[in-house]
Amino acid sequence: MARARRQSPLALFLAVAALLALALHVALAQKPGACTGACYGVSHDPAVIRRANDGTLFRFSTGGNINVATAPAIQGPWTLRGNALKQGSKINLPGHGADLWAPDVIGPLADGFYYMLYSTSVFGKQISAIGVARSRTLDAGSWEDLGSTGVESRQGAAFNAIDGNFVQDASGKWRMTFGSFWNDLFQTDMASVTKAKQPFRPTNIAFDPNGTRPVEGGFVYKHRDEYFLFFSHGVCCRLDQARPKAGDEYKIKVCKSKNVNGPFIDQQGRLCTQGGGTVLLASHDNVYAPGGQGVFSDAKSGGHILYYHYADKKRGITDGDKTFGWNVLDWHNGWPTVRSA
């Protein structure tokens, strides 16, 4: 009787590596969910929230002093409604233009208001600040600008004060995650939802010591008893002017911790402050440079929803070509995975 041939250790290793590579490709190549209406060109750094009183979905994005779109469902149809802060911000920093970036929206809180963080900055500079506004309805034009949160930076600081994200700790106290390049992501205590605690002593929660330290857009999301730090890694912008080598463009990574302020580790146990980060979603097919992400829990949309922007290579990869993307998140062995919608 013929005996089965025993595979060499090298052959077994190569077979396992091939299976892992296939699994990784499948995990990273999930198509975004359908999107109709105002999805293309008006979705940079989106923030999505459902209005409590009538169930309308609102999407806030970089552009036009935070453009506002609404839809009955995550798939759309999305309709542009105007601007959150048409007159811009009362924060007055030298060299700043009229536009505001990277909104993050929460609420309604006990006082009946929704609150929105926004960034004012100059691309590639550290002269930056994170402001806050409030509204009782979320509607375009209804937002009252409250000015700076006290999270600001100047040239030579350890961080760049943009990309603010609200998160509550286990006791219900508010914290803010923020940062972009330089020493990457930080987190600070808030004295209230509108002001950072003083003295201002932020904690570094993610840092990539390699290259240009391309980490930004931190978003902390609690799932069960763990906190997940989602962040964008790589080159986000001006992709048409200086296209990065494959793999250096934007992608979404994740680390997790038992504590809201870390230490965060990736799926291989690497510290997020030492270059760690598990890739959750990267370029694939016509989806290029996904990032600027957030997560919200919404039963009507299918559960835990990862939303983001990306460039559709069929349409273009300029900064004005960003398209709204979303996927449902599944959880396997304590980690999120992206599912096709």
User: What pLDDT is recorded for position 5?
Assistant: 45
Long-range own/partner contacts, residues 330-338 (CB < 8 A, 24 or more apart): 331/223, 331/304, 334/226, 334/256, 335/254, 335/256, 335/267, 335/278, 336/223, 336/228, 336/254, 336/280, 336/304, 336/306, 337/27, 337/280, 338/27, 338/28, 338/30, 338/280, 338/281, 338/306
> How does the average pLDDT of the chain come out, rounded?
92
Residue 232 token pair: 């964008």
- The answer to which of 81-95, 243-257, 276-290 has the lowest mean pLDDT is 81-95
Query: Which residue type does 326 have?
Result: W
User: What pLDDT is recorded for position 290?
Assistant: 98
Check if the beta carbon of residue 151 is closer than 8 Å to that of residue 129. Answer: yes
pTM for the full predicted model: 0.91
For 223-278, write each residue's pLDDT tens digit: 999 999 999 999 999 999 989 999 999 999 999 999 999 999 999 999 999 999 99
Phi, psi of 321 (to 5 degrees): -100, 10
Give the DSSP H or E segment for 220: strand 215-223
CA dist., res. 236 & res. 45, Å (int): 10
Which of 111, 105, 334, 109 shows the shortest CA–CA distance to 219?
Answer: 105
User: What pLDDT is recorded for position 7?
Assistant: 53
Evaluate if residue 13 carries a pLDDT over 70. no
Which of 127, 126, 128, 130 shows the shortest CA–CA distance to 115?
Answer: 130
Q: Which domains does the chain have, with CATH numbers?
A: 45-339 (2.115.10.20)
Which of 69, 62, 121, 66 shows the shortest CA–CA distance to 95?
Answer: 121
Q: What is the mean pLDDT of residues 146-174?
A: 96
Q: Give ∠ CA 210-167-335 in degrees, rounded to 5.
A: 60
Q: What percent of the chain has pLDDT over 70?
A: 90
CA dist., res. 5 & res. 207, Å (int): 48
Evaluate if residue 18 carries a pLDDT over 50. no
For 22-57, write each residue's pLDDT tens digit: 445 444 558 999 999 999 999 999 999 999 999 999
Check if the beta carbon of residue 153 is closer than 8 Å to that of residue 143. Answer: no
Query: Which residue type does 220 have?
Result: V
Residues with a catalytic annotation lie at 45, 216
For 168-196, write each residue's pLDDT tens digit: 999 999 999 999 999 999 999 999 999 99
CA dist., res. 325 & res. 307, Å (int): 6
